[in-house]
Amino acid sequence: MDFKQLRAVVTVAETGSVTRAAELLHTVQPAVSRQIAGLEAELGTALFNRISQGMQPTPAGAAFVVRARRILSEAERARAEARPSLDGVTGIAAVGLLGSVERLLAGPLVEVMGRKHPHIELHLITAYSGHLQQWLDEGDLDVSLLYNLTTTQSVRVLPLLRDQLWAVAPAQAGLRVDRPIELASLLRQPFIMPAAGQHGIRLLLDEARVGLDVTPHVVAQANSMTLQTVLVESGLGWTLLPAAGVASLVRSARVSAAPLCAPEIVRTVGLGLPRTGSTSPAVEVVATELLALVRSTVRSGSWTSAQLNPDLAASSADD
């Protein structure tokens, strides 16, 4: 088993085509086919089903691809960290960002890393907190923003801030950020319900609804914040989202929004790092810069309705 075979298997699985994989790997189709066939012979099992639509991983192949991808990633990290540099830390850092704040943090993080640490390669991934935590546990992420999570056996979490959720409505509804709206009033409107599953806002909503004698008037469920805002902008309903995720839409009058009350719904955001294994210098640098960026974003007011953890706020004031 060698790296060429691993790359061939992963690339075919991702493209579903030996021909396309060969193009991406800058080789010829027979070479890719030989690499896969050789690996299947060594393992004693088929990794792909050859179907009319292309190459489909078998159950064994799908499991193998997960491991192969991780091996290739670790090899890439090893090369990056071993590469000599005369002016700073080298390496790769996979960073998880919550979808609600990717617009706030992704660009500034890339900018500051490029300016101060040009030999560190960032891999940015955005998703819901549940997915980010899973990928952090599995080693696919090195550091991630998470919400409503305390330190576990596999992840250590530094509490960063409290983040308020808002009712979000079409612009003509006239909600105002200085006039909170009761949760019961929001649920009586045509409501775009956050989908159950990995959508942490749905969990917060379900907990807050306990004790309220209100059945939500659900017109649709959506499994992404982007889809929620699209439906609200189209005038099809109201929804519930983190303030930071919709502040720019409110300023441009594309939607209207108001903080929730009775009860207020707040999520806590933290910085998560794996508890197992050592943290590379590159990841330590990225974690430090991300922490500083979160501080400055909240203190400037750009992260709307967020309040820094008192310990973090005190330390940032001393910086």
pLDDT tens digits for range 22-76: 998 989 999 999 999 999 999 999 999 988 888 899 999 999 998 888 888 878 7
What's the pLDDT score for residue 224?
87
Residue 161: CB partners within 8 Å, gap ≥ 6?
268, 269, 294, 298, 303, 306, 307, 308, 309, 312
pTM: 0.76
Query: Which residues on adjacent β-strands are paired with residue 122?
Result: 93
What's the pLDDT score for residue 319?
54
What's the pLDDT score for residue 99?
87
Strand-strand pairing, 143-147 and 91-98: parallel
Other CB atoms within 10 Å distance of the CB of residue 96: 23
What's the pLDDT score for residue 146?
93
Q: Which two tokens stand for residue 102?
A: 């990717």
What's the pLDDT score for residue 198?
56
Question: CA–CA distance from 121 to each of 85, 277, 281, 294 (Å)?
Answer: 13, 20, 12, 20
What's the pLDDT score for residue 154?
83
Collapsing DSSP to helix, strand or coil, 208 comes out as: helix
Question: CA–CA distance from 117 to each of 58, 109, 147, 283 (Å)?
Answer: 42, 11, 27, 11
What's the pLDDT score for residue 107?
96
The domains found in the chain, sorted by start residue, are: 3-82 (1.10.10.10), 91-154+270-298+306-318 (3.40.190.10), 162-267 (3.40.190.290)
What's the pLDDT score for residue 71?
86
- Regions of the chain with pLDDT less than 50: none
Question: CA–CA distance from 181 to each of 76, 172, 220, 221 (Å)?
Answer: 50, 16, 21, 21
Residue 119 near residue 90, CB atoms below 8 Å: yes
What's the pLDDT score for residue 52?
80
